[in-house]
Amino acid sequence: MKTMKFSFFVQAALCLTLLCGAALAQKPPAEAEDVDAWVTATGQTSGVTANARDEAEKLALRKAVEMKCGLFIKAQSKVKDYQAVYDKVLSNTVGYVLEFKVVRVDKTDDTTSVTVKARVSTKKFEENWASIAHTINEANNPRVVLAVSEATSWTTSGPAYETSENGTVQTSLESFFDKKGISLMDRQTAAGVSKRDLMLAVTSDDVAAVAAVGARFKADVVIIGKANAKLGKKITVGDTEMYQYTVSINLRAVQTDSARILMSKNFTETVTELQRNAEDKALSKVAEKVSPKALEALVEAWAKRSSTGGARTVELYVSGMDYDTYKAFKAAADKIRGVQAVRMREITESVATIDIEYELTNENLADRLSEIKEPKLKVIEINPNRIKLKIVKE
């Protein structure tokens, strides 16, 4: 499969919508305003548990937003990145629901339906759409590899993690990230020895090795994790025996060129199944719920370091530089618009490692550095995290 090239920050909406507060007061409908209207919608999902009811409620709220904002959504359908923006705007609908009440809950043998009456803010929706579309257009596009080690059996010392690269959780995450537009590296490129080396690094919690292996197949970010499912107690509901499983998933995002941990999240949930030996099924259920949350966390972390709205750290590697040359470079770099700080980390064997706090894009910074008259610099390599340059002797 070819590398899936897609704008990563079509995902940025996930973190932006999370920042929207939701006033979910359970009160009777107020007088509707032009931009805040009440609509009735129904969501349905499989299962009759409390979790199923919550999921049906979320689906009903999403449908309410789609119903109320339908004309605006339709008007945007021919705009560039429409589907990407649509997915991200609706990834967390509570940001647009000012208040709601559940008016009906229906349960059959294996399904739950929830009907809600919700007051939806179309103004907030349209404002967020514009903000997200701008973010999509401006953001960088890192290449991502996922590696999650799983355990469904336990020893006296704890979960027995495996190095298989096609586990239930990893497959679920890859599928979700792919659908949402993440630039996943070609799975054939990431397979074989390199991927096995990555899985071994994951099971041993060696972040430096994870970063090094990730860089070998030119990934900018490696998402690593450990997931386990353990059989808990048996419960009886009516005449039916059921089994509870405790599922834990830990995920981290590692920046490959610096081994910096961009985000770390833990998710734990109890899942009820009808059968014993259903650990894989329990992992699959929790993975489906965790995938959007993991993406939200990753996007938020990446946005903080690559946002065009504030200064971020760009690493420079400059060959042919000594300390005197660095001082001349710093004097010139400090004058570049958007540069907040220039800090030397080290100079070793005529290679300088420098951190620059910069407000604009890496490409813009590379252009400005190339314009410095003394010392004269040539850009050798550029990616979302760093720029490599060399001193040019004239």
**Confidence (pTM):** 0.55
**Structure-model confidence comparison of residues 13 and 320, the more confident one:** 320
Residue 118, pLDDT score: 83
pLDDT of residue 386: 83
pLDDT, greater one: 30 or 122: 122
Kindly report the average pLDDT of the chain as a whole number: 76
Q: State mean pLDDT over 90-109.
A: 73
Higher-pLDDT residue of 140 and 14 is: 140
Q: How confident is the model at residue 13 (pLDDT cuts 50, 70, 90)?
A: very low
Whether residue 391 has pLDDT greater than 80: yes
Q: What is the pLDDT of residues 35-51, one digit of tens each?
A: 566 889 999 988 888 87
pLDDT of residue 169: 93
Residues 6+ apart with CB under 8 A from 221: 142, 143, 144, 145, 214, 253, 254, 255, 256, 262, 298, 302
pLDDT band at 72 (very low <50, low <70, confident <90, very high): low
Say which residue the tokens 């490696």 belong to: 222
pLDDT digits (tens, 9 = 90+) for 272-331: 998 889 999 999 999 998 888 888 777 777 666 554 445 677 889 999 999 999 999 999
* pLDDT higher than 50, residue 165: yes
pLDDT of residue 150: 93
pLDDT, tens only, 167-214: 899 999 988 888 777 778 765 454 444 567 778 888 888 888 888 888
**Higher local confidence (pLDDT), 6 or 66:** 66
Q: Where do the domains of the chain lie, and which CATH numbers do they carry? A: 8-138 (3.30.1660.40), 143-297 (3.40.50), 312-391 (3.30.70)
Least confident of 94-103, 217-226, 311-320: 94-103
Output the six-digit token pair for 355. 């951190």
HEC-encoded secondary structure of the chain: CCCCCCCHHHHHHHHHHHCCCCCCECCCCCCCCCCEEEEEEEEEEECCCHHHHHHHHHHHHHHHHHHHCHHHHHHCCCCCCHHHHHHHHCCCHHHCEEEEEEEEEEECCCEEEEEEEEEEEHHHHHHHHHHHHHHHHHCCCCEEEEEEEEECCEECCEECCCCCCCCHHHHHHHHHHHHCCCEECCCCCCCCHHHHHHHHHHHCCCHHHHHHHHHHCCCCEEEEEEEEEEEEEEEEECCEEEEEEEEEEEEEEEECCCCEEEEEEEEEEEEEECCCCCHHHHHHHHHHHHHHHHHHHHHHHHHHHHCCCCCEEEEEEEECCCHHHHHHHHHHHCCCCCEEEEEEEEEECCEEEEEEEECCCHHHHHHHHHCCCCCCEEEEEECCCEEEEEECCC
* Lowest mean pLDDT across 121-135, 139-153, 359-373: 121-135
Which has the closest alpha carbon to 255: 361, 140, 359, 333? 140
Mean pLDDT on 242-263: 89
Give pLDDT, residue 197.
Answer: 77
pLDDT class for 22, splitting at 50, 70, 90?
A: very low
**Percent over 70 (pLDDT), the chain:** 72
